[in-house]
Amino acid sequence: MSKPLPLKKIKSALARLPGWTFERDALAKAYSFKDFRAAMAFMLHVGFEAEALNHHPEWTNVYNRVAVRLNTHDAGGKVTAKDVALAGRIEKLAT
């Protein structure tokens, strides 16, 4: 079982994750792309990273937008180090 991070560590992580926020016990960010194809390509690449970490996002896609929400189910739906790691990998893919 994963351990939830204290708020201080979450805030420290957010300082290294531009545009990410902490809301409703999750790390969250919305991305916009030039079109649907670019949004889907991003999701595909994130999917490979998520699978490598065995940690999967909650996300939605509408045309060129992808909203990502990360928390850890086996930690009671709280943010853990797994979420911070995946957010970092997602951010690298988006830049």
> How many structural domains is the chain composed of?
1
CATH of the domain at 81: 3.30.1360.20
| Residue 1 within any structural domain of the chain | no
How confident is the model over 67-79, as pLDDT tens digits? 999 999 999 999 9
Q: Is residue 55 part of a domain?
A: yes
Are 72 and 2 in contact by the 8 Å Cβ rule? The answer is: yes
Judge whether 27 lies within some domain: yes
**Orientation of helix 7-14 relative to helix 81-94, angle to 10°:** 10
Q: What is the pTM of this model?
A: 0.95
Residue 2 is assigned to a structural domain of this protein: no
Sheet of 21-23, strands arranged across: 21-23, 26-32, 65-70, 58-62
- Structural domain harbouring 39: 7-94
Alpha-carbon distance 37 to 73, whole Å?
30
Give 8-54 pLDDT, tens digit per residue: 999 999 999 999 999 999 999 999 999 999 999 999 999 999 999 99
